Amino acid sequence: MAYSDKVIDHYENPRNVGKMDADDSNVGTGMVGAPACGDVMRLQIKVSDEGVIEDAKFKTYGCGSAIASSSLVTEWVKGMTLDQAADLKNAEIAEELALPPVKIHCSVLAEDAIKAAITDYREKQK
């Protein structure tokens, strides 16, 4: 199966790889995994007091499509409000990266990851 140019670009030059302090009250951490392929994804966001995502980092152990999906999401959510980021749909990710049907689940994983990160952040604010 051939990867699209965009997937290859994100795979070879992943954006925002890294780690934030998960204990920081301004940081939300999303951990998700795909048992069928054994992929693991961590996506973190740093949120300003105004509820805007200032920074995002990810680390993904998985196939090229999973890496590209999470890399793309970190690029997209920077500057978004939490509500905007929570609205992100996997179909938008899949379309941007031209993922083939068998790799759609990688974009679902990335959507789950950003949602989990937002949930984690909101839980911390309570």
Partner 1 sequence: MIDIKQNYFELFALPVSYKLDAVQLSGRYRELQKVLHPDRFAHLSERERRLSEQYTAFLNEAQATLKTPLRRAQYLLTLQGIDTLAETSVKMDAAFLMQQMTLREALEEAGGAVDPEVALAQLSDEVCGNLKAQRQQFEALYNAADYEGAAGAVRRMQFLEKLALEIEAREDELLD
- Residue 37: active-site member: yes
Q: How far is CA 52 from CA 29, 31, 38, 85, 86, in A?
A: 15, 21, 32, 9, 12
Q: Does 54 bind partner 1 (CB under 8 A)?
A: no
**Contact region for partner 1 (CB under 8 A) — 2-10, 43-51, 68-76, 101-109?**
101-109
* From 106, 113, 116, 118, the catalytic residue: 106
Category of 51 on φ-ψ map: left (φ > 0), alpha (ψ -120 to 50) or beta: left
Q: Does 35 bind partner 1 (CB under 8 A)?
A: yes
Least distance from C-beta 84 to partner 1, angstroms?
A: 22
By CB under 8 A, name the one of 5, 21, 37, 79 that touches partner 1: 37
Q: Give the max Cα distance, the chain.
A: 46
Q: Does 40 bind partner 1 (CB under 8 A)?
A: yes
* From 19, 22, 24, 37, the catalytic residue: 37
Q: Does 18 bind partner 1 (CB under 8 A)?
A: no
Chain positions contacting partner 1, by CB under 8 A: 31-38, 40, 42, 59, 61, 104-105, 108-109, 112
